[in-house]
């Protein structure tokens, strides 16, 4: 029997078609029904227009799209024979605002999606906390606005740097917002200090504490999510940052990767038209996102969790919680030594002189975001966007399932829908 489920509480809209046999999911396909056409809009535009258009792909990760676009243009400059230099100041500011965007996403996903949905599967009540996620996200957005001017849809990153020129007062304000976030995370989410959490090497160390995260961990165990939601157990990280290691991971072993091996193919969605393509690396499906990033870095807490529970839904959720902590800590380091006397931007030659191709890759909240651009005399001839959701939540055949399809197989429909959300779906990014 085929049943259709329209998903709510995700970014955008998706439909999942379940083939149910003996009250279990035998197979599921996914469709993203709305076409937005951002790639077509970009064709024929001045290449610098991408700095205004691509941040509007998404209302959650506009900064990630902006950085991917900037990196693609800077790569085109290099391939066109022009040197691109970035000051330490501009690099740190770019990284900080990206981190704040990722952190706000993680908080909203945790409090507004995962906790309410998990409450439906267990007797542990996690529902009455969504405003906590909204508050934390608002603080992170204020920190972004100090440098980006606004959030979402900022265009303050430009080839050669950033347009922001912060004063000492604005840096202090950013530090205050960051400290407010850390204190909130410690008091409301963890129940203990950030440093203590980052020193954990096992989930067993949650024992004895009372907090939102401790209740979340208990609920995941109660719903047996440590025994459900397994995908291919291989991971993929492509964006180069101070908080990531570019690699693919198979059976805990890491291997090098190159963006040129990323390809896309049409989705298999026989019940409805889907405007999303699947993304693969060397013709294989990989999981992306926080669990992948922390596995690639070899974080002891995540390695221990993976050794016990592999790539289960439990591991997927708790890895994202841990990534909030690690990103907050790294954000502190970024703000410590920004030298405001450095140039914010080092100007480049007129874009009209550029006829070249470029690739920009960043780690967005859900994993690698890839922008590819072909420019002729400053005009965009072709633009391609490949998003993390295309890796995680593609729709393929039963013989070659995507991570989310494999993770839902053999489960009840209710469990499968929760596990679908553990991948943090973003439809609007995917139907560009």
* Three-state secondary-structure class, residue 119: helix
- One pLDDT digit (tens) per residue for the chain, 432 residues: 566 655 555 556 788 899 999 999 999 999 988 888 899 999 999 999 999 999 999 888 899 999 999 999 999 999 999 999 999 999 999 999 999 999 999 999 999 999 999 999 998 888 778 899 999 999 999 999 999 998 889 999 999 999 999 999 999 999 999 999 999 999 999 999 999 999 999 988 988 888 999 999 999 999 999 999 999 999 999 999 999 999 999 988 999 999 999 999 999 988 888 889 999 999 999 999 999 999 999 999 999 999 999 999 999 999 999 999 999 999 999 999 899 999 999 999 999 999 999 999 999 999 999 999 999 999 999 999 999 999 999 999 999 999 999 999 999 999 999 999 999 988 777 767
pLDDT for 263: 97
pLDDT for 275: 85
pLDDT for 5: 58
Beta strands in 202-250 (DSSP E): 234-237, 247-250
Tokens for 261?
């091996």
pLDDT for 9: 52
Q: Which CATH number fits domain 37-405: 1.10.645.10, 3.40.50.720, 3.40.1180.10, 2.40.128.20?
A: 1.10.645.10
Kindly give, in sequence order, each residue whose CB lies less than 8 Å from that of residue 7, ignoring residues fewer than 6 positions away. Answer: 13, 14, 15, 16, 417, 420, 421, 425
- DSSP H helical ranges for 210-256: 212-222
pLDDT for 323: 98
Q: CA angle 202-204-205, nearest 5°?
A: 80
Asked if residues 14 and 7 have their Cβ atoms less than 8 Å apart, the reply is: yes
Question: Kind of pairing, strands 277-281 and 262-266?
Answer: antiparallel
- DSSP H helical ranges for 261-383: 290-297, 300-309, 313-336
pLDDT for 10: 56
Distance in Å from the first CA to the final CA of the chain:
32
Asked if residues 41 and 53 have their Cβ atoms less than 8 Å apart, the reply is: yes
Question: At what angle are helices 130-148 and 88-108 packed, to 10 degrees?
Answer: 160
Q: Taking the model in full, what pTM does it have?
A: 0.95
Kindly give, in sequence order, each residue whose CB lies less than 8 Å from that of residue 341, ignoring residues fewer than 6 positions away. Answer: none
CA nearest neighbour of 392 among 323, 289, 240: 289
User: Other CB atoms closer than 10 Å to residue 85's CB: what's the count?
Assistant: 11
Report which secondary-structure segment, H or E, holds 26.
Answer: strand 24-31
Asked if residues 158 and 131 have their Cβ atoms less than 8 Å apart, the reply is: no
pLDDT for 429: 77
Measured in residues, the chain has a length of: 432
pLDDT for 211: 92
Give, as one character, the DSSP assignment of residue 393.
Answer: S
Residue with tokens 């999606």: 113
Residue 97 vs residues 42, 192, 328: alpha-carbon distances, Å:
24, 26, 12
Kindly give, in sequence order, each residue whose CB lies less than 8 Å from that of residue 184, ignoring residues fewer than 6 positions away. Answer: 132, 135, 136, 139
Per-domain boundaries in the chain? 37-405
């Amino acid at each position: 029997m085929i049943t259709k489920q329209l998903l709510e509480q995700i970014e955008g809209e998706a439909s999942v078609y379940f083939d149910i046999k003996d009250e279990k999911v035998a197979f599921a396909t996914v469709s993203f029904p709305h076409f937005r056409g951002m790639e077509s809009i970009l064709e024929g535009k001045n290449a610098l227009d991408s700095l205004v258009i691509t941040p509007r792909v998404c209302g959650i990760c506009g900064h990630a799209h902006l950085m991917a676009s900037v990196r693609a243009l800077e790569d085109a400059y290099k391939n066109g024979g022009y040197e691109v230099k970035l000051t330490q100041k501009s690099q740190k500011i770019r990284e900080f605002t990206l981190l704040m965007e990722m952190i706000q996403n993680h908080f909203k996903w945790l409090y507004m999606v995962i906790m309410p949905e998990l409450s439906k599967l267990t007797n542990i009540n996690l529902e009455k906390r969504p405003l906590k996620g909204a508050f934390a996200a608002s603080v992170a957005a204020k920190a972004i606005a100090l440098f980006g001017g606004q959030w979402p849809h900022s265009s303050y990153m430009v080839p050669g740097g950033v347009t922001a020129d912060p004063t000492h007062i604005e840096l202090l304000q950013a530090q205050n917002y960051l400290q407010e976030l850390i204190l909130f995370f410690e008091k409301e989410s963890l129940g203990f200090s950030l440093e203590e959490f980052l020193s954990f090497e096992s989930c067993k160390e949650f024992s004895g504490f009372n907090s939102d995260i401790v209740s979340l961990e208990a609920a995941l165990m109660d719903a047996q999510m440590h025994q459900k939601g397994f995908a291919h157990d291989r991971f993929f990280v492509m964006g180069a940052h101070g908080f990531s290691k570019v690699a693919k991971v198979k059976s805990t072993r890491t291997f090098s990767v190159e963006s040129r091996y990323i390809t896309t193919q049409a989705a298999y969605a026989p019940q409805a038209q889907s405007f999303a393509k699947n993304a693969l690396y060397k013709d294989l499906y990989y999981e992306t996102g926080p669990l992948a990033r922390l596995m690639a870095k070899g974080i002891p807490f995540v390695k221990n969790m993976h050794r016990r529970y592999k790539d289960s839904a439990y591991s997927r959720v708790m890895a994202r919680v841990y990534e909030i902590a690690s990103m907050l800590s790294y954000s502190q380091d970024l703000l410590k030594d920004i030298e405001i006397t450095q140039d914010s931007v080092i100007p480049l030659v007129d874009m009209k002189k550029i006829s070249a191709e470029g690739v920009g890759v960043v780690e967005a909240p859900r994993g690698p975001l890839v922008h590819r651009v072909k420019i002729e005399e400053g005009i965009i001839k072709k633009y391609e966007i490949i998003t993390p959701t295309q890796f995680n939540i593609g729709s393929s055949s039963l013989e070659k399932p995507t991570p989310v399809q494999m993770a839902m197989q053999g489960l009840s429909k209710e469990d499968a829908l929760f596990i679908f959300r553990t991948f943090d779906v973003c439809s609007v990014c995917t139907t560009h």
